Amino acid sequence: MSTAPIAAPASADLLRRAPKVELHCHLEGSVPAEVAVRLARRHGVALPTADAGELYRYEDLEGFLAVYTAVSRALATPADLAEVTHACLVASAAEGLRYREMSFNPTNHPSMTYRQVLDGVLDGVRSARAETGVDCRLVVAVNREQPPSVALDLVRAALEHRAEEVVAVGLDHDELVGPPAAFAEAFALAARGGLHRTAHAGERGDAAEVAAALDALGAQRIDHGYAVLADPGLLARCRTDGVHFATCWSTQLFHGGDGSAIAGMLEAGLAVSVNPDDPPMFGTSTGEELARAGTALGWTPGQAQQGVLAAVAAAFCDEGDRAALAAEVRRGFAELLAPPAVGWTAGSGTCASAGSGAGPGPGTG
């Protein structure tokens, strides 16, 4: 099957249906507003507003994080977590998702122990996998707004209650609050325990955050990282070392960008993938995020495929899983780009498409 790039830009429809691999998506940020309101009402948790139509409206990152934290608290039982995890994976599978590494913030759920949080999330991951075939791995996320001692206890719990789906630790929340160096001990423990490391850095304009995540935390991947463009030396280092940046198109626009940072990272030769971050909270989805980014960047189908394969290459799974996932992505794109099968219509003597609606031909991509 040919995977040669098609010269014309990919259509938004093709991008929405294309196979996808995600490295940067938050479970607590994947709760539809109406579900958040329902669960908050059930558990007596205060949200900034009980109006589902207004809940996910905020002016800045601080406002977003206030909502994110409140919604996290509304997920108060393992059953809540299982419901939300299952639902978001099934919905994304319908938009082409094949593999996701999903972050979750155990310490944002004060009504539960780490083991209870993990059990609920695993129930959702495993039921969604049985239903859709989507492979979901988990990143235990450290809330940098909480003390480093909380992070250290969290990593200890993650190592004590090992699950094969848990592959990494991450650092998230407001990078203006918790410097990476404060969490070096927790990340060193995670590394000794065999967990991969990633971190939000350079989201708010400070290239030094990216360097600190790499040096103090041993981060193997950077979430966001747009500020790397401001430091030529760091940019060259990241390009040489093959550091992967799991970017998020809609979030970058929320921060006042216009997409040029992501375009610049690609032009600079960095390894970059496009991810939905907190989909309903930023008005996007698995399919919509790739459609928005791909059409704005003018990607051809071949370039879109390479973007997805960049995520495969940076996934925290073994070589065999990566090879199988890459083959699945290539096969999915080839099927989308294959011309409709043509056959003879019996008794008519005319030639007709045998696969009406089965997929776009080369001219539609």
Q: Is residue 38 part of a domain?
A: no
User: CA nearest 31: which of 105, 132, 131, 141?
Assistant: 105
Q: What pLDDT, on a 0 to 100 scale, did the predictor assign at position 126?
A: 98
More confident residue, 214 or 343: 214
Q: Is residue 62 part of a domain?
A: no
Q: Is residue 278 part of a domain?
A: yes
Q: Is residue 270 part of a domain?
A: yes
The predicted model scores a pTM of 0.90
Catalytic residue among 175, 203, 209, 289: 203
Is 288 a catalytic site residue? no
pLDDT tens track for 82-118 = 999 999 999 999 999 999 999 999 999 999 999 999 9
- List Cβ neighbours of 187 (8 Å cut-off, separation of 6 or more): 155, 169, 171, 197, 216, 217, 218, 219
Q: What pLDDT, on a 0 to 100 scale, did the predictor assign at position 343?
A: 55
Q: What pLDDT, on a 0 to 100 scale, did the predictor assign at position 341?
A: 63
Stretch 149-167: mean pLDDT: 98
> Bridge partners of 245?
222, 272
* Contact between residue 23 and residue 221 where contact means Cβ atoms under 8 Å apart: yes
The range of the structural domain enclosing residue 301 comes to 12-31+75-340
Give the count of domains, the chain.
Answer: 1
352: pLDDT strictly greater than 60 = no
Q: Is residue 48 part of a domain?
A: no
Q: Which pLDDT band holds residue 262 (cuts at 50, 70, 90)?
A: very high
Q: For residue 20, what is the domain's CATH number?
A: 3.20.20.140
Q: Is residue 45 part of a domain?
A: no
> Which of helix, strand or coil describes residue 139?
strand
Q: Is residue 119 part of a domain?
A: yes
Residues in the chain: 365
- Percent of the chain with pLDDT strictly greater than 70: 91
Q: What pLDDT, on a 0 to 100 scale, did the predictor assign at position 39?
A: 98
Q: Is residue 7 part of a domain?
A: no
